Structure 1
Amino acid sequence: MIAVLISADFEWAATKEVVDPDQCLQNPYSEHFFSLVNERPLVFMHGGWGKISAAATTQYCIDTWHPQVIFNLGTCGGLQGQITCGETLLVNETIVYDIYERMGDPMEALETYSTRLDLSLLREPYPMPVRVGKLASGDQDIDPKLVKHLSETIGVQAADWESSSIAWVCQHNHVPCLILRTVSDVVSETGGEIYDDNATQFAKRSRTIMADLIDHLPAWIEQLQLK
């Protein structure tokens, strides 16, 4: 079994629109459906937004279906000058950036929840253009005031809400994890390009991004080197 976790509500809605499953089943956290890709059984699960939901649903997924590998497909916000809208990040490391340690070493606290992902699981060439890099997660859309901190101190080009939790839980369960996040919008030190439209543009861009990622999913699965 291969599991595909989809985080944000708009991303999940787009996924169901693209895949058009026969039936969605309820679970204690959300919903899921089963599919076949390249004759391999897949479970698609709505992981939910934010680190708490992401951690809980990842553990539930592992305990319930014992997947050989977990994919996380979705969107992320990019940092202006570091990455552009529409670029896809194949994540090789995750880090939580909204931990604020005031009694010890702040960077040591952040490193506690840093996870390196083993991309040797994938054969090259990759089936779509990607940028390999580090992704930060926090329970917020990127704060323009943190753009410089994220790029210069944390050393990332983009950020999301969930990937760090998914990767951390997978690592502790010894389950391979592959994260593909496409930049839906870019944030500068003065603001976010789609922050003031009540998520209208995010919903629209999510549909385009998820359609592209799911369209390439069979090719990514073919590149897996599973034991």
Structure 2
Amino acid sequence: MVAVEDDALRQRFGEGRPTKDKMGVTLYQTKNCQLYAIRCGAGEIYAAAATQYLIDKYKVAAVLNYGVVGGCTDNLHPGEVCVVVKVAHYQYDLFAVDNVPAGRYLEYPDRLLPVSTAFTELASPELRRVVCASGDKFVGDAAEKLWLHNEFGADICDMESAAILLTCDRNRVPCLIIKAVADSLSGGAAEYWREKNQTAKSCLDYAVEVIDGL
């Protein structure tokens, strides 16, 4: 699953075989498995819907999300690929009713939602393990990124990871989230547009290593 950068899939696997379903899923054959690829669109709602669709329609054994993110610290630069091990859904806020901090889902032990180790441990050990702050907003402002880092310990930020992780957990399907930094701490939208295609390709290269190792 990818939000917006799908050219890397075609470059890697060719055109694939369109399933002609309502969500535009394309089937690719990798070395060891079938890969149902979907471009979900940006944002938590689109990502949750696409994740549930893949699980229900194709009975997938796992969900792999790759794509580009923003860096929330000054030591993450465009092109760096990371493995997400925890997610903070920072816009989810029940404080006024349950007196719990923003990001806290009561069925989890704290507000950093863990990603299953079933596949994160298969990713290259050279990749940095990170916390991703996820919400329905493109964060381009350096001060806001730093706030996400200081408040949640976030290394990166995106618009899909929380939805994918929560949907997979509800369905007891493991997921792997591999992200590449497109815009650095102070890069903003201009850097995102300049870097997103190449960084998405680099991200997919690492993701395919995990797929081929299954």
TM-score, length basis structure 2:
0.85
Is residue 168 from structure 1 mapped to residue 166 from structure 2 by the alignment? yes
- The corresponding residue for 2:200 is 210
Partner Cα separation in structure 1 for residue 96 and residue 140 of structure 2 = 24
> Take 1:215 and 1:148, find their aligned partners in 2: how far apart are those partners?
29
Q: Which residue of 2 aligns with 1:121?
A: 119
- Matched residues in 2 for 1:194 and 1:153: separation? 20
Aligned-partner Cα distance in 2 for 1:18–1:37: 10
On the 8 A contact 1:147/1:187 being kept in 2, the answer is yes
Kept after mapping to 2: 8 A contact 1:15/1:210: no
Q: Does 1:68 align with 2:61?
A: yes
Match of 2:26 in 1: 33
Question: Would you say 1:16 and 2:10 are equivalent positions?
Answer: yes
Letter of the structure 1 residue corresponding to residue 69 of structure 2:
C
Name the Cα RMSD after superposition. 2.4
Shift in Å at residue 149 of structure 1? Answer: 2.0
Query: In structure 2, do the counterparts of structure 1 residues 49 and 106 end up closer, same or farther at CA, with 3 Å as the change threshold?
Result: farther
- Return the offset for 1:36: 1.2
CA drift of 1:109 comes to 4.3
- Report the equivalent of 2:2: 6
Preserved contact between residue 131 and residue 155 of structure 2 (Cα < 8 Å): yes
Distance in 2 separating the partners of 1:217 and 1:99: 28
Q: Compute the TM-score of the two structures, normalised by the length of structure 1.
A: 0.80
Q: Conserved in 1, the CA contact under 8 Å of 2:74 and 2:185? A: no
Aligned amino acid, residue 174 of structure 1: R
How big is each residue's C-alpha offset from its partner over 1:142-167, in whole Å with a ceiling of 9 and x where there is no partner? 15242232111111111000011001
Contact 1:25 1:33 (C-alpha < 8 Å) held by counterparts: yes
What is aligned with 1:98? Answer: 91
Q: Look up the SS of the partner of 2:77 in the other structure.
A: coil
Distance 2:98 2:212 in 1: 43
Residues paired across the two proteins, number: 208
Matched with 2:209 is 219
Change over 3 Å in CA distance of 1:155–1:105 after alignment to 2? farther
Give the deviation of 1:7 after TM superposition. Answer: 1.1
- Aligned residues with identical type, % of pairs: 23
Distance 2:193 2:60 in 1: 29
The aligned runs of 1:107-186 (5 Å cut-off) are 107-112=100-105, 114-121=112-119, 123=121, 126-127=123-124, 129-144=126-141, 145-186=143-184
Structure 1: how far apart are the matches of 2:202 and 2:27?
20
C-alpha deviation, 1:26, in angstroms: 4.2
* Pair 102,127 (structure 1): closer, same or farther in 2 beyond 3 Å: closer
5+ residue gaps, structure 2: 106-110
Per-residue deviation, residues 151-184 of structure 1 (Å, max 9, x unmatched)? 1111111100001100100001000000000101
In structure 2, distance between residues paired with 1:155 and 1:67: 31
For the Cα contact (< 8 Å) 1:142–1:187, is it kept in 2? no
Looking at structure 2, the residues matched to 214 and 143 of structure 1 have their Cα atoms a distance apart, in angstroms, of 23
CA distance in 2, matches of 1:181, 1:72: 8
- For residues 42 and 78 of structure 1, the distance between their equivalents in structure 2, rounded to whole angstroms, comes to 28
User: Is the 8 Å Cα contact of residues 137 and 162 (structure 1) preserved in structure 2?
Assistant: yes
